[in-house]
């Protein structure tokens, strides 16, 4: 069983802890936050919930507690206000990351670092440069949420369980995300063939694209933050890592030549296990998807350069 440290006990960090506890992942969870009272309050509330689940040691701590953590989840920093893009958070959250990385360098003996804070691609790349870790062990939630939203929208349209829809979003977790329509299948049947078989019109791609791309803005406008879906997404990733499941998930991390790119982090379908990102899959892309990916990578390279990476 593993020890997990969650840095940032806000909406996302606390919801991730809740999801981990509910599914019995991790035997020790430490919550660290500049707002110590918030971390303590969340730990007390979550601790009370363990009588209904499985025993977990959960507490508020500080960086001296991360030494032997197997997995660190980084969810500290600013979230988007209504209308702000994820990239608008770059300067503020890179500053938070630099401060925390300095402390991790002193206290953490190493393990897996899972980045969540936005813009998650840029932060994952910067983290991989700041910390002396095997690049496979630094990963970010990337487009796991976008892929989940894509699959949910397609499941609503086709009437098939989202778990039987294979549909990926790659590139930036942000405005330039790339929906891989050309590779979407329902239980292995190309989406368009499935629609034909079922007598359905082809889905309205523009509408679904907007649903996926605008999801965070839509939710933030109404309730100020998104945390349930990402909380469960983090839980899913922790499960793949801690149980060495070799699951295909669209995480982000520094790429090493996939589609000819390097020196940048973006999401790709990736086999995830105990060592982190084991290998990435290079799906054939349509020429439109290639072009969209180029735009997405250029956007990320520019954002990285603006913070000196
Ligand atoms: N990658 C993804 O798919 C998603 C990413 N996010 C991102 O997650 C991040 C956190 O979002 P929320 O939890 O909603 O924000 P929040 O404001 O509820 O929580 C952030 C927490 O970080 C803490 N914090 C700030 N600076 C810190 C520091 N230097 N050291 C330790 N703790 C510090 C704050 O005290 C606060 O408790 C945001 O950047 C948000 O955009 C949110 C949803 C999905
Ligand atoms: C906030 C964010 O990144 C999301 O919900 O997609």
Q: Do 65 and 178 fall within a single domain?
A: no
Tell me the average pLDDT across 44-53. 96
Going by alpha carbons, the residue nearest to atom 3 of ligand 2 is 216
Q: Do 191 and 254 fall within a single domain?
A: yes
Q: Do 157 and 201 fall within a single domain?
A: yes
Q: Do 201 and 301 fall within a single domain?
A: yes
Does residue 246 carry a catalytic annotation? no
136, 137, 173, 213: which one is catalytic?
Answer: 173
Of 9, 21, 33, give the one whose Cα is nearest residue 232.
21
Q: Do 159 and 294 fall within a single domain?
A: yes
Tell me if 86 is assigned to a ligand binding site: yes
Q: Do 66 and 13 fall within a single domain?
A: yes
The span from the CA of 88 to the CA of 282, in Å, is: 30
DSSP3 helix / strand / coil % (the chain, rounded to 5):
50, 20, 30
* Higher pLDDT pick, 72 / 1: 72
3-state secondary structure of 31: strand
Mean pLDDT estimate for the chain? 97
C-alpha 117 to ligand 1 mean position (Å): 6
Separation of CA 267 from chain center: 9
Q: What is the CATH number of the domain that holds 29?
A: 3.40.50.720
Helices (H), the chain: 11-22, 36-49, 90-107, 120-130, 144-158, 191-197, 205-213, 215-223, 228-242, 287-306
Q: What is the pLDDT of residues 161-174, one digit of tens each?
A: 999 999 999 999 99
Q: Do 154 and 191 fall within a single domain?
A: yes
Which domain does 278 fall in, by range? 143-307
pLDDT in the model for residue 201: 96
CA 211-170-69 angle, to 5 degrees, is 105
How many Å is the Cα radius of gyration of the chain?
19
Q: What is the pLDDT of residues 210-253, one digit of tens each?
A: 999 999 999 999 999 999 999 999 999 999 999 999 999 999 99
Q: What is the pLDDT of residues 259-287, one digit of tens each?
A: 999 999 999 999 999 999 999 999 999 99
Tell me the average pLDDT across 123-130. 98
Confidence label for 84 from pLDDT (cuts 50, 70 and 90): very high
- Domain boundary (114, 140, 166) is at 140
pLDDT in the model for residue 1: 76
Question: Which tokens hold the place of 258?
Answer: 């996939």
- Domain boundary (111, 140, 169) is at 140
The ligand whose atoms approach the alpha carbon of 10 most closely is 1
Q: Do 192 and 135 fall within a single domain?
A: no
Q: What is the pLDDT of residues 58-76, one digit of tens each?
A: 999 999 999 999 999 999 9
Q: Do 225 and 299 fall within a single domain?
A: yes
The span from the CA of 214 to the CA of 144, in Å, is: 15
pLDDT in the model for residue 266: 98
CB 285 within 8 A of CB 146: no
C-alpha 171 to ligand 2 mean position (Å): 14
Does 213 sit in the ligand 2 pocket, CB within 6 Å?
no
The ligand whose atoms approach the alpha carbon of 78 most closely is 1
Q: Do 149 and 296 fall within a single domain?
A: yes
Neighbour tally for 135: CB within 10 Å: 16
Mutation to probe ligand 2, out of 118, 142, 148 (largest number of atoms < 8 A from CB): 118
- Domain boundary (106, 140, 174) is at 140
Tell me the average pLDDT across 8-20. 98
Question: Which tokens hold the place of 120?
Answer: 């998650």
Q: What is the DSSP string of 122-161?
A: HHHHHHHHHS-S-GGGEEE-TTHHHHHHHHHHHHHHH-S-
Q: What is the CATH number of the domain that holds 167?
A: 3.90.110.10
CB 125 within 8 A of CB 109: no
CB 50 within 8 A of CB 56: yes
Q: What burial class does residue 207 get, using C-beta atoms within 10 Å of its C-beta: 0-12 exposed, 13-18 middle, 19+ buried? A: exposed
Q: Do 299 and 209 fall within a single domain?
A: yes
Ligand 2, atom nearest to 120 Cα: 3
Enter the ipTM: 0.99
Q: Do 157 and 294 fall within a single domain?
A: yes
Of 181, 99, 144, 174, give the one whose Cα is nearest residue 277.
144
Structural domain count of the chain = 2
């Amino acid at each position: 069983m593993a020890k997990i440290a969650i840095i940032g006990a806000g909406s996302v960090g606390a919801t991730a802890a809740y999801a981990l506890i509910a599914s019995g992942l991790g035997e020790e969870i430490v919550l660290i936050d500049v707002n110590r009272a918030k971390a303590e309050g969340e730990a007390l509330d979550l601790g009370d919930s363990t009588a209904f689940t499985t025993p977990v040691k959960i507490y508020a701590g500080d960086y001296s507690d991360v030494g032997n953590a197997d997995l660190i989840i980084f969810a500290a920093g600013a979230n988007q206000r209504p209308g702000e893009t994820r990239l608008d958070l770059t300067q503020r959250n890179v500053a938070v990351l630099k401060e925390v990385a300095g402390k991790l360098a002193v206290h953490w003996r190493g393990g897996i670092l899972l980045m969540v804070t936005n813009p998650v691609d840029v932060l994952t790349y910067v983290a991989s440069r700041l910390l002396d870790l095997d690049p496979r062990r630094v990963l970010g939630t990337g487009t796991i949420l976008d892929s989940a939203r894509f699959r949910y929208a397609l499941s609503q349209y086709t009437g098939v369980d989202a778990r039987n829809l294979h549909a990926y979003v790659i590139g930036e977790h942000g405005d330039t995300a790339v929906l891989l329509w050309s590779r979407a299948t329902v239980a292995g049947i190309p989406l368009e063939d499935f629609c034909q078989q079922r007598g359905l019109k082809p889905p309205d791609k523009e509408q679904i694209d907007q649903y996926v791309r605008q999801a965070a803005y839509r939710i933030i406008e109404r309730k100020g933050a998104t945390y349930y879906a990402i909380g469960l997404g983090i839980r899913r990733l922790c499960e793949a890592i801690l149980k060495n499941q070799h699951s295909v998930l669209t995480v982000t991390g520094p790429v090493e030549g996939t589609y000819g790119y390097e020196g940048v982090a973006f999401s790709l379908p990736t086999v995830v296990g105990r060592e982190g990102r084991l290998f990435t899959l290079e799906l054939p892309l349509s020429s439109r998807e290639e072009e969209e990916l180029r735009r997405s990578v250029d956007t990320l390279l520019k954002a990285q350069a603006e913070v000196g990476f």
